[in-house]
Amino acid sequence: MEIPDEAILLIKVLVVEDSPVVREFLVHILGSDSDILVVGTANDGEEAIAAAERWQPDVITMDIHMPKLDGIEATRRIMETHPTPIVIVSGSTDPHEVATTFRATEAGALAVLRRPAGLGHPDHEATVRDLVRTVKLMSEVKVVRRWPRGARGVATPLLQVPDLGRALNKVNAVAIGASTGGPPVLQRILAALPKDFPVPILVVQHMAAGFIQGFVEWLAQSSSLPIHIATQAEYLLPGHVYVAPDDFQMKLGQGARIILARDPPENGLRPSVSALFRSLAEVYGGEVVACLLTGMGRDGAEELKLLRSKGATTFAQDKDSSVVHGMPGEAIRLDAASFVLPPEKIAAALISLVNAGKKEFTQ
């Protein structure tokens, strides 16, 4: 297949999927967009690696369960040889299978999406829009080569605590908001926290419906902290991680109890980071730490500024480590972030802040 000159400016996509029916479905969806050109398809992971080299696509959509070589290993090898933005497209919502799917983000995949619903399904148009939008967005991401596992001469950066100045305050809770590119960043942060971390952590991660349970199972595999989906009216416990469930706004109520509400979407999202951050400002004022990580849009940015105005210590992920710098970039533009840091320094700063605050207020 030769790419015509007039197609040079289009987004070139490689579709990797072992089911012929699903493969043609994805090709039809993506090919129907005037900005996208499907340059090739692959039936398994081995074909995907060869096709990535041949076609040099701008984006690859990747299945997970395939013969010969699965999508996780194919992703890993592509990122080691021909780094390309990879979007995992999954048809499963089984929590254990979803947890396995998120391993692809460890291998270098940028996003995990639900396979678009079929024609006639009430979610068809929304899921199609989500896939097309994500493919377009990921085409703009500059990925770097992943070194093979066990490669010599690749140093692991030391976990260094940034200079926090006088950012000392009592810390009653840590709140983290993330969207596109967030899962592996959250994994790195939570995995770096000790099992005796002394305050609760509340997390809003924008994600396709049906993936949260598997996401939590995947996070729990690398963290010493208890991680679970938040439930209505439960009390916050030190060192526990509470992840917002599908289709509820997760807020904090008086008495350190979680409120799950069917409030309207904010910034088009439910759960939204904005709803969580605003509730923390109402209950705890400045006695929290809040982080805004990689993601498209502006969810949580204004509320991060609100928390900072009340004396909270606030973080935004830096541009270089963000897949999409929309949310943290907007927070930086609003001067809502006390500190702008990469994930490993955010983790170190959280440990320093909560321990310093604990010492400050228990003397």
DSSP annotation string for 239-258: T-EEEPPTT-EEEEETTTEE
pLDDT of residue 155: 36
pLDDT of residue 157: 42
Query: Is residue 70 annotated as a catalytic residue, yes or no?
Result: no
Query: Is residue 299 annotated as a catalytic residue, yes or no?
Result: yes
How does residue 344 score in pLDDT terms, banded at 50, 70 and 90? Answer: confident
Catalytic option among 299, 318, 322, 325: 299
Contact predicate 272/266, CB 8 Å: yes
Q: Which residues pair with 201 in a beta bridge?
A: 174, 241
pLDDT of residue 14: 98
The whole-angstrom separation of Cα 140 and Cα 294 is 15
Closest-CA residue to 44 (of 58, 60, 28, 65)? 65
123 burial via Cβ count (<10 Å: 0-12, 13-18, 19+): middle
The whole-angstrom separation of Cα 78 and Cα 92 is 23
148 DSSP assignment: P
pLDDT of residue 315: 96
β-pair type (313-317, 288-292):
parallel
How does residue 226 score in pLDDT terms, banded at 50, 70 and 90? Answer: very high
Amino acid letter, 126 = A
How does residue 156 score in pLDDT terms, banded at 50, 70 and 90? Answer: very low
How does residue 360 score in pLDDT terms, banded at 50, 70 and 90? Answer: very low
Residue 227 has pLDDT above 60, yes or no: yes
pLDDT of residue 5: 53
- pLDDT tens per residue across span 130-151: 999 999 999 998 887 665 654 4
Domains and CATH numbers, the chain: 9-138 (3.40.50.2300), 173-362 (3.40.50.180)
β-pair type (59-62, 11-16):
parallel
Place of tokens 């595999």: 221
What does the mean pLDDT of the chain come to? 89
- pLDDT tens per residue across span 64-112: 999 999 999 999 999 999 999 999 999 887 888 888 899 999 999 999 9
The whole-angstrom separation of Cα 17 and Cα 51 is 13
Query: Is residue 247 annotated as a catalytic residue, yes or no?
Result: no
How does residue 358 score in pLDDT terms, banded at 50, 70 and 90? Answer: low
How does residue 19 score in pLDDT terms, banded at 50, 70 and 90? Answer: very high
- Mean pLDDT across 173-193: 95
Catalytic option among 179, 274, 279, 338: 179
Q: Which residues pair with 227 in a beta bridge?
A: 241
